[in-house]
Structure 1
Amino acid sequence: MKLKKVISGVLALLGAVVLVACGTAKSESVEFQLFTPGQSDIRNHIEYQGDKMTLLKTTSTVLYTAFGGNSKEDGKQFIAEQGGNQWNGIKGITHDVEYKEDRLIETTSIDLVEVDFDELGKLMPLQTANGKKAEYLSYKLTKENFEKLGMKEVKDGKFEDLK
């Protein structure tokens, strides 16, 4: 399943860009989108200070037909198979899935100041350059990896819409 690989790839690459360091700077935000017409719309909102990400919010809209489904029940099964329910109940993480007639909308928000990186590491691979415990996610490397995945930076809220 190509969609499963894309979603897994986004999470894996995000986890792979964790670095150990600290920085102070003005808080900024940026948006990225991976749009596949007729299948999915994955949007990432990132808040960061310097190179340190403080918030990652991912909203994935997936048409049921993109994974061979055609109903809300198929969507629930898809989320369960993807391990989506594992995100529930962890401090610093909010996770919600809304099932519409033809699509599901999954929203996962990670407060990277509050989250326990040991718990987060159970959900996605967290690696550091020096092998030490991850303390934050690198904005610079996350941006580079998102671009390698084909994600586009979105300016002025001009997202493509899934129809």
Structure 2
Amino acid sequence: MKLKKMVLGLLALLGAVVLVACGAGTKKSADFQLLTQGQSDIRNHIEYQGDKMTLLKTTTTVLYSAIGANSKDDAKLMMEAQGSADWDGIKGITHEVEYKDDRFIETTSVDLNKVDFDKLGELMQLQTANGEKAKYLSYKLTKENFVNQGYTEVKDGKYKELE
């Protein structure tokens, strides 16, 4: 199912991030977009200090037609079947899904200073270079992974729109 592949692909991408040592620096942010016209728009907003990510906010918009849903109710059932509610109620994570007439918009925000990495690891695979428990996400490696997956970096909030 395309929805499952999109959601799992995003989670795998985030989970594949290799973690490295933290560097000091000022707080910065970056935005990335993966747009597939007629299907989906995935936007990632990252806040980081040095190489350590402090916030990851993902907003995914998917047209019902792209996943074979005929209505809001169909899409909601599909999202529930994919485990969308697994993200709810975890400290440091806010998650909501809004169902519109022709699309749904899923927003997941992870405060990486507050989230329990053990709980996060249950939702997505976290890997480290040395096999040890993940303590943070690397901005540099996350950016590399996004670019390798076809995301484009967005400057000055100039996202392309899903049609």
Range that drifts further, 108-117 or 74-83: 74-83
- The reply to whether residue 47 of structure 1 matches residue 29 of structure 2 is no
Amino acid at match of 1:57: K
Letter aligned with residue 72 of structure 2: K
- CA distance in 2 between counterparts of 1:86 and 1:18 reads 23
How do residues 5-154 of structure 1 correspond to structure 2 at under 5 angstroms? 5-154=5-154
Check the 8 A contact 1:15/1:124 in 2, yes or no: yes
Give the aligned residue type for 1:77: L
2:2 touches 2:66 (CA, 8 Å); kept in 1? no
Query: What is the identity, as a one-letter code, of the residue corresponding to 1:15?
Result: G
In the aligned structure 2, how far is the partner of 1:27 from the partner of 1:114? 17
Q: State the Cα deviation string for residues 4-29 of structure 1 (Å, max 9, x = none).
A: 32331221121121415222111100
Q: Name the SS of the counterpart of 1:136 in structure 2.
A: coil
**Contact preservation (8 Å) 1:117, 1:135:** yes
CA shift digits 1:79-112 (9 cap, x unpaired): 1122111000000000000000110000000000
TM-score scaled by length of structure 2: 0.95
- Residue 134 of structure 1 aligns to a residue whose secondary structure is coil
TM-score (norm 1): 0.95
**Conservation of the 8 A alpha-carbon contact between 1:20 and 1:134:** no
For 1:157 and 1:11, locate their aligned partners in 2 and report how far apart those are by CA, in whole Å. Answer: 24
- Contact residue 96 and residue 107 of structure 1 kept, 8 A: yes
Contact preservation (8 Å) 1:10, 1:146: no
Which whole-Å CA distance do the structure 2 matches of 1:82 and 1:142 have between them?
A: 24
* Residues 10 and 149, structure 1, Cα contact 8 Å, conserved in 2: no
Q: Give the whole-Å Cα distance in 2 for the aligned partners of 1:69 and 1:39.
A: 12
In the aligned structure 2, how far is the partner of 1:116 from the partner of 1:39?
33
Pairwise CA distance, 1:113? 0.5
Which residues of structure 2 form unaligned runs of 5+? none
- Separation (CA, whole Å) in 2 of partners of 1:94 and 1:11: 16
C-alpha distance in 2 between matches for 1:96 and 1:75 = 14
What percent identity do the matched residue pairs reach? Answer: 71
Superposed CA RMSD in Å reads: 1.2
Structure 1, unmatched stretches of 5+, are none
> Structure 2: which amino acid aligns with 1:54?
T
How many residues were matched structurally? 163
